A and B are shown apart, each in its own frame.
Chain A
Amino acid sequence: MKAKEFNIKWGMVIDLDKCTGCGACMTACQVENNIAPMVDSSNKLRTLSWMLVFEMSNKKPCPDAEIAYLPRPCMQCGNPACVPVCPVVATDKNEEGGIVSQIYPRCIGCRYCMAACPYHARYFNWEDPIFPKGMEKALSPSTSTRPRGVVEKCNFCHTRLQNAKDKVRMEGGNPEALPDGAYMPACSEVCPTGAITFGDLKNPEHKVHELAKSENAFRLLEKLGLAPQVYYMSKREWVRKLGDNYAATGKPGAEKKHS
């Protein structure tokens, strides 16, 4: 299947050398997207975490031991594996900007998309969300809550994109050419070390445009050819190699392919 091309490609460049693994992005994400706290969140097969921070290690003994943290949102793949498997077109990549949509009322909960996604970015609602008393007053109007039996995932805080467009319209600008920083997902906004840079990968005026081309930039499991719109960067070779599961091309990091 030929990947759709868009004039705008919203993307992230996450600097893994800046990430301290604090988890602020995960918290901001849960608040922004109305993810209910679970009664027992020790069962990680059932937790919902659109943004999840992984710990990586170079597996070396003490003097050389190093760790790195890897925040994983939805990769918004250029050629998504989840979209063609959906039997009811509840998920699609058809909007300018390239964000993969997920429409909860249409989802039938078959979970084919979860099986197809190699990044484990999709989550299934095993239970109805229950917000502790009083917390329902603090729900975000940005995201609708999901019932039991549907799949959900990160959508780059899509409502923030809509709000940013409205603001630009109010100021008389062009909503299809947002300035750098006008639209930012919650994780990127909250990151205390500024590890998550967000913007239009195709717009030279946006920082991510250059960052994604840096020699330290790579994408997760690039060999699969899903062309994620999320890039990572690290000066450490073992981190870059681990990003492609040590299986890229034998060269440090992954081979870079830019559209």
Chain B
Amino acid sequence: MEEKKQCKGCGGALPFVVGFVAAVIAGWVLFPGVLYSKQNQPIRFSHKVHQEQGMECASCHSFREDGSYAGLPNNEKCMECHADVVGSDPDELKYVEQYAKTGKEVPWLIYQSQPDNVLFSHKAHESFECKSCHLEVEKTDTPPVYYENRLSGYSKQTMKMWQCERCHAENGVSNACHVCHK
């Protein structure tokens, strides 16, 4: 009778441990890999090379006269230097042939792209350094991989609402809904 009380083949705590480890691996390692698709920028743009020429962030990423932010430069800006092939980089040739000469804008992937109902004013945050929110791309030769959430379509690297709220709270800035939402 004593032997029957012990469940043979169950292995005690082993199935629980195995299941737990499997669930942790699935949730922490496999699922994020499935959830985010990896994408590369259409052109291997090197911020490092441009920075070494003595260019500032604002040389290409600038404000408009009405205080709105132009964000990424368009062809017109790039072609001030890259209307013709400069150097021997294959991506340079790709840019000039596929975009500069055809007049098509480069479909850059925007790491910090926010949902449509978010309104962010760069002008209001001008006193901060760019890299306090943006990826520090100034030293990269190859742009970082862009991760897109397959379900929502949003960038993984974008700033989350809790980060906005925390910084606002720490700096005594209002966290009223309409300060950031539209």
Which residue numbers of A lie inside 8 Å of B, CB to CB?
A: 92, 94-96, 99, 101, 103-105, 142-145, 155, 158-159, 162-163, 165-171, 175
The proximity string for B residues 38-70 relative to A, scoring 1 for CB distances below 8 Å and 0 otherwise, is 000000000000000000000000010111100
Q: How many A-B residue pairs have CB under 8 A?
A: 65
Q: Is the CB of A104 within 8 A of B117?
A: yes
* A162-B119 contact, Cβ under 8 Å, with A99-B178, A103-B177, A169-B124: yes
B92-124 Cβ-contact flags toward A at 8 Å (1 or 0): 000000000000000000000001110101011
Whether A145 touches B116, Cβ cut-off 8 Å, given contacts A162-B121, A166-B67, is yes
Check A95 against B174 for contact (C-beta < 8 Å): yes
Known: A95-B174, A101-B181, A166-B67. 19 other contacts (CB 8 A): A92-B177, A94-B176, A95-B178, A96-B174, A103-B117, A103-B181, A104-B117, A144-B115, A144-B181, A144-B182, A155-B178, A158-B182, A159-B119, A162-B121, A163-B66, A165-B123, A166-B66, A166-B68, A171-B67
- What 7 A-B pairs are tightest by C-beta distance, nearest first? A166-B67, A170-B67, A95-B176, A144-B117, A101-B178, A101-B177, A166-B123
- Residues on B with beta carbons closer than 8 Å to the beta carbon of A171: 67
* Beta-carbon contact of B182 and A143 below 8 Å: yes
Q: Please classify the interface of chain B as helix (H, G, I), strand (E, B), loop, or mixed, using the class held by over half of its residues.
A: loop
Q: Is the CB of B116 within 8 A of A167?
A: no
Which chain A residues border B126 with CB–CB below 8 Å? 169
Residues of B within 8 A of A101 (CB): 176-178, 181
CB of B26 closer than 8 Å to a CB of A: no
A179 CB to closest chain B CB (Å) equals 14
Given A142-B182, A145-B116, A166-B124, CB of A92 within 8 Å of CB of B66: no
The answer to whether A165 touches B66, judged by C-beta atoms less than 8 angstroms apart, is no
B182 pairs with A170, CB closer than 8 A:
no
Residue tally, chain B, CB below 8 Å to A: 20
Cβ-closest chain B residue relative to A145: B116
**CB-nearest residue of chain B to A104:** B117
Taking the closest CB of chain B, its distance from the CB of A144, in whole angstroms, is: 4
Closest beta carbon of chain A to B13's beta carbon, Å: 43
Smallest CB gap from B126: residue in A: A169
The residues of B that contact A158 with a CB separation of less than 8 Å are 178, 182
Please, could you name 23 A-B residue pairs with CB atoms under 8 Å apart, sorted by A?
A: A92-B177, A95-B174, A95-B176, A95-B179, A96-B174, A99-B178, A101-B176, A105-B117, A144-B117, A145-B116, A158-B178, A162-B119, A163-B68, A165-B121, A166-B68, A166-B123, A168-B67, A169-B67, A170-B65, A170-B67, A170-B123, A171-B67, A175-B124
- Specify the chain A residue showing the minimal Cβ separation from B181: A103
Contacting residues of chain B (162-182) with chain A, CB-CB under 8 angstroms: 174, 176-179, 181-182
Give the distance to chain B from A198, nearest Cβ to Cβ, in Å: 17
Bound together, the chains give a CA A165 to CA B121 distance in angstroms of 9
What residues on B are CB-neighbors of A163 within 8 Å? 66-68
Residues in B whose Cβ lies below 8 Å from that of A162: 119, 121, 182
> Does A167 lie within 8 Å of B174, measured CB to CB?
no
CA distance A92 to B179 in the complex (A): 12
Are A95's CB and B65's CB within 8 A? no
Q: Could you tell me the distance between the alpha carbons of A99 and B117 in the complex, rounded to whole angstroms?
A: 17
Bound state CA distance, A94 and B123, in angstroms?
22
**B116 engages A169 (CB within 8 Å):** no
A166 vs B177: C-alpha distance in the bound complex, in angstroms? Answer: 18
Expressed in whole angstroms, the Cα–Cα distance for A99 and B181 within the complex equals: 13
| Beta-carbon contact of A144 and B116 below 8 Å | yes
Residues of A within 8 A of B178 (CB): 95, 99, 101, 155, 158
Interchain CA distance A101-B177 in the complex, whole Å: 7
Whole-angstrom CA separation of A92 from B181 in the bound complex: 12
> Among the listed A92, A144, A170, which residue makes an inter-chain contact with B63, where contact means beta carbons less than 8 Å apart?
A170
